[in-house]
Chain A
Amino acid sequence: MGDTKLDLLQGTLDLMVLQTLAALGEMHGYGIARRIEQVSGDEVLLNQGTIYAALVRLQQRGWIESEWGASENNRRAKFYTITKRGRRQLAEDTAYWQRLSGVMGRVLAMGNAGEPQ
């Protein structure tokens, strides 16, 4: 993508974090950030620091939980897991995003005369 990276839409980071935790289970902040970078193929503009604001938001809503533990290199780190409510929320939001991207795709695929091509 060169110099221009995708700016994250407000709230999309929260969804990415939820999905990462749902897919990979217990993780610490650094792990989550790295995972998102890898999956996105370095296409999103992510200051890793911003992940912590998202984590505290999600935790306050009761969608994820945290616990201190030891990392693979034996460093003390906070590990996050998704809760049952978090999974429910994720399902809802996923459906929402899929509908939205479907609609956006159709809208953007319209020709100049307004006819589907």
Chain B
Amino acid sequence: MKAARGSPQEGWGDRLRRAGGRLRAFFRKQPMDRELEEEIAAHIAMATDENIRNGMPPEEARRRAMVKFGGVEQAKEQQRESRGIFWLDTVLQDLRYTIRTLARDRGFAVIAILILALGIGANVVVFSVVNTILLRPLPFYNPDRLVWIAPADAQGLSGSTYSADAFEDLRLMNRSYEDVTGYFAFSTADNYKLMNHGDPKPVTGMQVAGNFFHVLGVSPEMGRLFTEEEASKGGGAAVLLAHPFWERQFGRDPSIVGRSITLDNKPVTVVGILPESFDFGAAFSPGTKVDIFTPVMMDDIRYEGNTLTLIGRLKPGGTLAEARAEATALFPQFYWGKRYPESKGNYKNARPVPLKEYISGKLRRSLVVLWCAVGLILLIVCVNLSNLLLARAAARNKEFALRSALGAGRARLVRQLLTESLVLAASGALLGLGVAYALLTYLAHQGSIALPLLSQVRLDGTALLWTVVITMTTAVLFGLLPGVRASRANVQEALKDGGHGATEGRRHESMRTALVVSEVALACVLLIGAGLLLRSFLKVLDVDLGFQPSSAATIKLDYDDGGSIAKRNAVLENVSRRIGALPGVEAAGLSDNLPLERNRGWGAPRIKGKSYKEGELPGAFVYIVSPGYFRAMGMPLRGRDFTWADTDKSEGAVVLNETAAKGLWPGEDAVGKMVVVNGKVDVRVIGVIADVKNLGVEEQPGWQMYLPMMGDWGPDGAYLVVKTRLPPAQLSASVLKTLRGINPNQPAVEFRPVQGIVDHATSPRKFFVTLVGAFAGLGLLLASLGIYGVISYSVTRRTQEIGIRMALGASPGDVQMGVIRKTLQMAALGIAAGAMLSIAMAQMIAALLFGTAPTDPPTFAGMPLLLVAVALLAGYLPARRASRINPMVALRNE
């Protein structure tokens, strides 16, 4: 037997029919009410008739009939409840009522919605950024199977690269991966020029292993990927176009696939177009854009050193731990180059990490801090709104008392208030979504911020879901306290005298004071956090880079030396002299590499005749430069600069940085000493130069050496660097004209300030500091609003008391001081609590600070002072109003 039920059994069809009936009834409310009324009237009339027939007097008959019926209104309500969608009725009623009340109190509604929009909007923006960079999977096929293979202690990209031989051995010998791929790590921006499409155009190309897109699981939007032949030498030159480049350069012309284009004077076949969703820069090289992809010819780079990064796709069922164990065993068996048998064992270790971890792992801490900061903002918003609602509830005491006297249940009142909070929060969320959308669109187009995946940030379904969650949470958080309080109000008290008794008012005020104190404390935490990060950022900007970026500008130089060193030297000297002679140019020089851009490590210089143990000397970062480069970059040099006579025919010359010079000859002057560089003996150290930040502004530079471009060191392209006091844009035309005069194929690349390179390097920190700073500012504003609200309310409430005191001889100054003292008390309490919390907070963000202690005294002193100042301002306005109270008016105004 089934469980006992009192109700008739109901099948699915019945239930469905019933639901339909309810829905119909919901929309046919009035006709159904009318019918019911008629039916009830008939019922009572018939009952009365029957009673009269049984001999009752008509009046008694009707009374009895009514008693039997048992409450007409009750019966109606019962019927409505069972016929329609009762809760929806109530909700709609609450909504209508809410909108009416809010429309009446427009000032309050606008302020509340604005505050909520800022709080929710900021949260949505940060969530979207966090979601894009940290949470969302990479835009590749099964991205969680992809791993980045590099030494555990890799320093920058250079330390993460391997030779072609090692790459090929790994592909052959591993058992962990479906396949391994990689890309050439040392490409530079504008490294190709596109010809036969008007003026020669600079194009940024990336050389990738032939199987790169297969391994990532990126399929072309049109055409195909590279074939095996195209990936090996002599197999036909092929190129894949990135979607934005195809759009920009070829106007989405589909017929380009299969056609040939000219890159650097060579014909190359466009074999395919990559999909719009694939953005190489966003994932692997934040803040840069790549236009084209070509297969890297392993034979060309086989003896060029460690140039390939490694990316593997784990076999199905294979684990990361297995891959790690295998790497430890396998990598020592690889050769740097098989031509040199002794180079076996060059690679000590490698540690595969999930690709996602490699791309965004470094940012996790910063993003979490950002998320916390914006969460604090939301908390402050809640406290602020709670406070505003409490103030409003005080004014609405009577309304609620009246409604509760008329029979509204307490739950119903709380629900009404929660509906109000929800309406406010939802309106704020809508506005906030608009703000967030605008901000995110702006952020996605900030190509200069070096954050991975930022270009793919957008308002997606997850973000919308998050918006709904925080909106509901916010509404409940800020609506519950005032709701419960209002519903608890004493009906009789409130109705009797319409005023809040002194005790009631004081209790009310103390609750609001507590809210404001906590608001100030939260704002204080935010301000101190932002202050510490700001100080760090200023320290970073203040770092001695070893060069003067503000007065230098640079352009990528194109030249054709036909493979002859003598011809190259002639061309470069000509360029250097003619550019140097332009008006406004103070110095000009060339380098094949710029600081903070690309990584390149060579074996360190050695003292001639001295033998070193393996690993005794660190690698050295190499710049191949022309005379004048040091001056153009504003680098202080001890010794002499290179001259155009330092060619492959003359004595070898090298300039070392301080670190390398000290490393080789501790306590001695390196200038004039002889070293061995890259196997070349008898190279004279002609000068020593300041350390240059080359990997990052916040990193300690290692050994660096500068070799003359005029020698046979094989410069890898050339950047022209110009020192000028003019804005680069102003010089751009004459520089480009001069270069075109020398070489008509010079592409029209941008003449950019070197400062831009530094800004790019510091952009992630700037991004975080700007956001956290903005949140702190918002927190400060909200806290001051809160203080103003409470003080202002207390002045209004105490108008009579102040009037009496003034009538008894208190001066306006006394009154003003009294109000300000109260303000300061509140601020001081909040700041004290906030400062304590900040000490813990600062420890948590210590790893993000640069050159700033987590207990940085200026920050811990300055931010509270700022808060006090703002609190004073917020308290001053009501204080002034208090001091202008006219005792006569105040007392008469009973």
Q: Measuring CB to CB, which residues of chain A are less than 8 angstroms from any residue of chain B?
A: 9-12, 14-15, 18, 28-30, 33-34, 47-50, 52-54, 56-57, 59-63, 71, 73, 75-78, 89, 92-93, 96, 99-100, 103
Known A28-B42, A61-B14, A62-B14; judge A15-B8 contact (CB<8 A). Answer: yes
- A29 touching B82 in the complex, CB below 8 Å, given contacts A12-B6, A53-B75, A60-B21: no
| Contact status of A14 and B39, CB under 8 A, knowing A49-B75, A49-B78 | no
Q: In the bound complex, do residue A53 and residue B68 qualify as a contact, i.e. CB atoms below 8 Å apart? A: no
Residues A49 and B74 in contact in the complex (CB < 8 Å), given A29-B43, A56-B83, A57-B83? yes
> What separation, in Å, do the CA atoms of A9 and B39 have in the docked complex?
25
14 extra interface residue pairs, beta carbon distance < 8 Å, beyond A61-B21, A100-B1: A9-B6, A14-B7, A34-B50, A47-B74, A48-B69, A49-B74, A49-B75, A50-B75, A52-B40, A53-B78, A56-B82, A59-B21, A92-B8, A99-B1
Q: Which residue of B lies closest to A62 (CB)?
A: B17
- Among A29, A50, A56, A89, find the residue whose CB has the most chain B CB atoms closer than 10 A: A56
Instruction: Name A57's closest neighbour in chain B (CB-CB).
Output: B82
Distance A9 CA – B8 CA, assembled complex (angstroms): 11
Interface pair A61/B18, CB less than 8 Å apart: yes
Q: Which of B1, B69, B79 contacts A47 (CB 8 A)?
A: B69
Chain B contact residues, CB within 8 Å of chain A: 1, 4-10, 14, 17-18, 20-22, 25, 35-36, 38-40, 42-43, 45-47, 49-50, 68-72, 74-75, 78-79, 81-83
Chain A residues, Cβ within 8 Å of B22: 60
List the B side residues contacting A52 at CB < 8 Å: 36, 39-40, 75, 78-79
Question: When A53-B82, A57-B82 are in contact, do A71 and B46 touch as well, CB less than 8 Å?
Answer: yes
Contacts of A11 in B (CB 8 A): 5-8
Of B9, B14, B68, B78, the residue contacting A96 (CB under 8 A) is B9
Contact A75 B42 (CB under 8 A): yes
CA distance A57 to B83 in the complex (A): 6
Which residues in A have their C-beta under 8 angstroms from that of B40?
A: 49, 52
Query: Could you tell me the distance in whole angstroms from the C-beta of B21 to the nearest C-beta in chain A?
Result: 3
Minimum CB distance partner of A15 in chain B: B8
- Chain A interface mostly helix, strand, loop or mixed? helix
Cβ-closest chain A residue relative to B43: A30
Q: How far is the CA of A76 from the CA of B39 in the complex (A)?
A: 8
Complex Cα distance A54/B7, Å?
Answer: 11
Q: Is the CB of B42 within 8 A of A71?
A: yes
Contacts of A63 in B (CB 8 A): 14
Question: 29 A–B contact pairs at CB < 8 A?
Answer: A9-B6, A10-B7, A14-B7, A14-B8, A18-B8, A28-B43, A28-B46, A47-B71, A47-B75, A48-B68, A48-B70, A50-B70, A52-B40, A53-B75, A53-B78, A56-B82, A57-B82, A60-B25, A61-B10, A61-B18, A61-B21, A63-B14, A71-B46, A75-B45, A75-B46, A77-B42, A78-B39, A89-B8, A93-B9
User: A45: nearest residue on chain B (CB-CB)?
Assistant: B70
Chain A nearest CB from B54 CB (Å) reads 12
A76 touching B42 in the complex, CB below 8 Å, given contacts A52-B75, A56-B82 = yes
- Contact, CB under 8 Å: A49 / B46: no
Structural contact, A56 and B79, CB atoms closer than 8 A: yes
Shortest B865–chain A CB gap in Å is 68
In the assembled complex, which residues on chain A have CB atoms less than 8 Å from the CB atom of B69? 47-49
Q: Out of A48, A60, A99, name the residue touching B83 (CB < 8 Å).
A: A60
Q: Are B6 and A49 in contact (CB under 8 A)?
A: no
The CA-CA distance from A107 to B608 in the complex, in Å, is 109
The closest CB in chain B to the CB of A61 belongs to B14
Task: Report A-chain residues with C-beta under 8 Å of the C-beta of B14.
Answer: 61-63, 89
Minimum C-beta distance from B854 to chain A (A): 65
Asked if B39 and A93 make an inter-chain contact with CB atoms under 8 angstroms apart, the answer reads no
Q: Which of B6, B25, B35, B47 contacts A78 (CB 8 A)?
A: B35
The docked-state distance in angstroms from the alpha carbon of A113 to that of B68 is: 45
**Residues of chain A within 8 A of B45, CB atoms compared:** 75
Question: In the complex, which residue of chain B has the Cβ closest to the Cβ of A47?
Answer: B70
Query: Do residues B39 and A49 form an inter-chain contact, with CB atoms below 8 A?
Result: no
Q: B49 touches which one: A54, A73, A76, A100 (CB < 8 A)?
A: A73
Q: Given A49-B69, A100-B4, are A30 and B9 neighbors across the interface (CB < 8 Å)?
A: no
Contacts of B46 in A (CB 8 A): 28, 30, 71, 73, 75, 77
State the Cβ distance, A17 to closest chain B Cβ, in Å: 10
Rounded to whole Å, the gap between the CB of A87 and the closest CB of chain B is 12
In the complex, what residues of A have CB within 8 A of residue B18's CB? 57, 60-61
CB-nearest residue of chain B relative to A37? Answer: B68
Task: List chain A residues, Cβ under 8 A from B38.
Answer: 76
Given the complex of chains A and B, what is the CA–CA distance between A108 and B47 in angstroms? 39
Least Cβ–Cβ distance between B786 and chain A, in angstroms = 50
Contact B39 A61 (CB under 8 A): no
Give the docked Cα–Cα distance between A57 and B79 (Å): 9
Determine the chain B residues whose CB is within 8 A of the CB of A18 once the complex forms.
8
* Selected contact of A30 from candidates B4, B42, B70, CB within 8 Å: B42
Distance of B664 from chain A, by nearest CB (Å): 95
Return A10 CB to nearest CB of chain B, in Å.
Answer: 5
Q: How far is the CA of A59 from the CA of B18 in the complex (A)?
A: 9
